[in-house]
Structure 1
Amino acid sequence: MSQLLKNGQVFFTVQSNTQGKVEKFLGGGTQGEVYQVNLKDKILALKWYFPEWINQDDKQKSRLEEAIKLGIPTDRFLWPLEIVNIPDIPETYGYIMPLRESRFKGVVDMMKRQVEPSFHALATAGFELSNSYYQLHSKGLCYRDISFGNVFFDPDTGEVRICDNDNVDINGKPGMIGGTPDFMAPEIVIGKSHPSSFTDLYSLAVLLFYLFHVHHPLCGKKMLQIKCWDLAARRKIFGEEPVFIFDTDDTSNEALSKDIDETGECGDNALAFWQIYPKFFRDLFTKAFTQGLRDPENGRIAESIWRGEMIRLRDSIFYCSNCGSENFYDLDKLKSSSGDPGKCWSCESHLAIPPRIRFKKNIIMLNNNTKIFPHHVDDQKRYDFSNPIAEVIQHPTQPNVWGLKNLSDEKWVANVNNSIKEVEPGRSVTLALGTKVNFGKDEGEIRA
């Protein structure tokens, strides 16, 4: 593939009229090519369009100008910074954006098992994606093409980066970008609607299902009828006859194990993961792909709901004492099994639930690496995970004794066996059953 630009080629930004240089080719796609560039000693990325793409999409430049004017919704977006021209190539243009760091990997890498993130990292990625699209939609914009092709995450931390933001447009505004077929809302697939922030919600749910189940939510038993995975087949599965693979009222497209479908295309991965997650989390996907298919107006899950439940999922993680695998605290399961947490999904050892702390709106499992944040104790600081206010620590001389250390600048007041104890910053309170800790804005009770 011949490159459009050469190393060392000079370009100029339109808004600030700053000169920069192309350093190296990074990759190409349908719309153009991406290069690493140097602009005033700052390393950035430059997307340079094919002339034929510009001729196809005459609204491309106006979308870019609007995005630059509105500004970045959050720093998780690799957002357009400036439009770029090259005097010697007047028939086309490009734009500069932040360069994606090598630590960020694609969802496709996870599906190929080239990276294996923890559930904690996945829950963090789910939160960051939901929050990022929430912030984007709050600006009156829609993404139009949410898919795993434009999302990257750090498999160690779950931090995300969202690229291809030149597709972003004013919500409800007609455009030529319809989306990626596997992620399009059914009403778009069959031509009854155009992309909007509302259809973005469907695409987000598909993306999240892929993240947590390594499979598409609508690819089940009906795949056995497909002889050629062409546009007609996609239209049938994703638009004309969409059925969730875990829809208990309609099993016509149920997920099948490899015992029945040796290709795994009918949901073997999803079957393996589905039962690992707590009921409240499964219920979200069930609503998104049952009611959300039949009644999009009332059945789609809002980004604000996803981000809250992703944090709830992350706070529900605890570790198997035998193999160390992450499991989930599931209150619904405990109620239905007389308090029996069941077996570890990985090694099948019987699970022992660690202590937990219950707030008005949160239950947090107190593992050996648990941290509590302002988000958990102060309604005015929702989704503030900048600095922890507490962490679980081990007693320096008594290994079987664990405590909660005060990392904040404020004094806590703890009720230990009906005795009041002040916990100064830097000090700890023992994780004892029934202990209540007042963090100032909220009180938590330690339970076993």
Structure 2
Amino acid sequence: MGELLRNGQVITTTVSGLPCEITSFIGGGGQGEVYSGKIRNQSVAVKWYFPSYLNDDPNIRERLSVSIQNGAPSDRFLWPMELVDMTGSDSFGYIMPLREARFKGMSDLIRGRVNPSFRARATTCWEVASSFMSLHSRGLCYRDISMGNIFFDPLSGEVRICDNDNVDVNKRPGFIGGTPEFMAPEIVSGRATPSTQTDLFSLALLLFYILCMNHPLKGRRILHIRVWDPPAHRKILGDAPLFIFDPDDSSNEAVPKSEDDLCEAGGNALAYWLIYPVFLRDLFVRSFTVGLTDPEHGRVRETEWQAAMGRLIDSILYCGSCGKQNFYDRDALQATRSAGSCWSCSQALVLPPRLRIGQDTIIMLNHDSKIYPHHLGAKQMNFNGALGEVVRHPSNRTLWGLKNTGTAKWVATTGSNEIKDIEPGKSITLAAGTKVHFGKAEGQIHA
């Protein structure tokens, strides 16, 4: 139960003058408490600050007013809508959209209360990177990325980002420094203040958590720390950070579960790391080696993460024995001439048909695969408005095809040089050697 407001209490929006009735307590933190409320029968969330916090962060009202005036960077942010006051109170708050119940917190993921598929995890990572791209493009930085302010739908991967009262202009001095476990090393050690560059480090760290379920800098060295106090924070995360998969220094290597039953020193990451393709692992290595000491050149940009997560989604394939999602790894395939084995059942993987578009794009043609505008040349990557999808033949269940779900005609050339028009709503059989002219792009199906 909250301490600041009570159920049935009415507070007032400062601009529109509308009453907001508090209906229930949601949770609290270091800054204040969050409640659900109603304005004209519309459910909203209300964050109300501790008076003591306002003394520490005197610019917060001005910062919120600017954010409200400018509006949200995208609909993925649970952005402040309006300030709220209460007669006789020495504090205030703001209202924001209420998070839907389908969105779960990062703690639900780490503690195993939800177990999203690899596709959902990759989609969550793509959405987080895209959201921060939209924020940074406005000249803003988040300042306090942590597990507590990212929520995701375990089925679709869609995200919501809260605690947006921490957002401020890039490099502007302020009270908020961040959450230690998610701060860039230069902030932890006191050498820098929050900026878009430090946000990029925090972003990479968050993506690593989503995909590998551990902190990238907490490996063997933390087993020798008896008290996780500020000096320990500074040593491990600020002054001498070392990636648990550093290719040149194993002194902070990830520790197997047999040595650390709590899996705080990288046990989960050991289980996940080799599942992912080389191209993704290389980005994390760069982020947590060069990126630890060279923010300008070593940190991975949002656009790079977007492209990598799109490629990761395109690389998904299903094990023919147990049905678990695995990944096509072109680099490993070229080195070993093998598709590898399933991480779950250890059976040899059999590659499905795949569509190669240009030199760089390869899409695994699974039963649920889709072709999106960015595959066919659109500059902006998104996963809305599929232009093609894999479908099963209506009368011959052993045949699969690629269906045109867009509005433009395709032209296909089969392996026997037969030319076919694929009108919207029609399909072409998934046969090796078939070339498909999508308009601006051309692809070829490989077996």
Shorter-chain TM-score tier: over 0.9
**Distance in 2 between the 1:93 and 1:240 partners?**
38
In structure 2, what is the Cα distance between the partners aligned to 1:67 and 1:342?
A: 49
Does the 8 Å CA contact 1:413/1:439 hold for their aligned counterparts? yes
Which residue number corresponds to residue 229 of structure 2? 230
Q: In structure 2, what is the equivalent of residue 345 of structure 1?
A: 343
Which residue matches 2:276? Answer: 277
- The match for 2:181 is 182
Tell me the residue number matched to 2:383. 385
Q: Are 1:114 and 2:103 matched, yes or no? A: no
What is the CA-CA distance between 1:441 and the residue it aligns to? 2.1
Q: CA deviation at 1:385?
A: 2.1
TM (norm. structure 1) is 0.97
SS in 1 for 2:148: coil
| Kept in 1: contact 2:186–2:238 (CA 8 A) | yes
Query: For structure 1, which segment, 230-239 or 314-323, has the greater mean C-alpha deviation from structure 2 after superposition?
Result: 230-239
Matches of 1:20 and 1:225, distance apart in 2: 51
1:257 maps to 2:256: yes
1:10-409 paired onto structure 2 within 5 Å: 10-89=10-89, 91-338=90-337, 340-360=338-358, 361-380=360-379, 382-409=380-407
Deviation at 1:263, TM superposition (A): 4.1
Q: Distance in 1 between matches of 2:93 and 2:246?
A: 45
Unaligned runs of 5+ in 2: none
Give the aligned length: 445
Distance 2:431 2:207 in 1: 37
Contact in 1 for aligned 2:2/2:33 (Cα 8 Å): no
TM-fit CA distance, 1:312 = 0.6
Alpha-carbon distance in structure 2 between the residues aligned to 1:25 and 1:428: 53
Structure 1 segments (4+ residues) deviating >4 Å: none
CA distance in 1 between counterparts of 2:97 and 2:439 reads 40
Describe the shift of the 1:83–1:372 C-alpha distance in structure 2 as closer, same or farther (beyond 3 A).
same
Matched AA of 1:216:
H
The residue matched to 2:84 in structure 1 has which SS? strand
**Map of 2:409 onto structure 1:** 411
Could you tell me which amino acid in structure 1 is paired with residue 3 of structure 2? Q
Whole-Å separation in 1 of the counterparts to 2:45 and 2:2: 19
**Alpha-carbon deviations, 1:168-205, whole Å to 9, x = none?**
00111001111000111110011010011110000111
Query: 1:410 deviation in Å?
Result: 1.2
| Secondary structure in 2 matching 1:47 | strand
RMSD: 1.2
Give the residue type in structure 2 aligned to 1:204. Answer: L
Q: Distance in 1 between matches of 2:129 and 2:279?
A: 17
Counterpart code for 2:394: P
How far residue 396 of structure 1 moved from its aligned partner, in angstroms, is 1.7
Distance in 2 separating the partners of 1:358 and 1:108? 38
**Which residue is equivalent to 1:6?**
6
**Mapped contact 2:2–2:28 kept (Cα < 8 A):** no
Instruction: Write the deviation string for residues 362-405 of structure 1: whole angstroms up to 9, x where unpaired.
Output: 2110001111111211324x223221111101112222211011
Contact preservation (8 Å) 1:3, 1:25: no
Contact 1:371 1:391 in 2 (8 A): yes
| Aligned-partner SS, 2:419 | strand
Residue 2 of structure 1: CA displacement? 5.0
The 1-side partners of 2:322 and 2:36 are apart by 43
How many angstroms does 1:308 deviate by?
1.1
What letter matches 1:310 in structure 2?
Answer: M
User: Which residue number corresponds to residue 427 of structure 2?
Assistant: 428
**1:234-256, CA deviations, whole angstroms, 9 ceiling, x for partnerless residues?**
11110111010111111111112
Superimposed CA distance per residue, residues 193-237 of structure 1 (whole angstroms, 9 cap, x where no aligned partner): 001111000011111111111100011111122111111111111
SS at structure 2 position matched to 1:17: coil
Contact 1:372 1:389 in 2 (8 A): yes
Report if aligned partners of 2:2, 2:27 keep a CA contact under 8 Å in 1.
no
Alpha-carbon distance between aligned partners in 2 of 1:105 and 1:261, rounded to the nearest angstrom: 27
* Deviation readout 1:138-163 (Å, 9 max, x if unpaired): 11100001111110100011000000
SS in 2 for 1:195: coil
Distance 2:33 2:78 in 1: 15
Q: Which amino acid aligns with 1:266?
A: A
Identify which range, 69-78 or 23-32, moves more after superposition: 23-32
Q: Secondary structure at the match of 1:379?
A: coil
Q: Per-residue deviation at 1:262?
A: 4.2
Structure 1 residues 254 and 2: CA distance shift in structure 2, 3 A: closer
**What amino acid sits opposite 1:240 in the alignment?**
D
- Structure 1 distance, partners of 2:189, 2:235, is 9
- Structure 1: gaps of 5 or more residues: none
Q: Secondary structure at the match of 1:208?
A: helix
SS in 1 for 2:36: strand
Letter in 2 for 1:392: V
Contact residue 218 and residue 237 of structure 1 kept, 8 A = yes
CA deviation string 1:405-437 (max 9, x = no partner): 111111111111211100111110000001111
Displacement, 1:32? 1.0
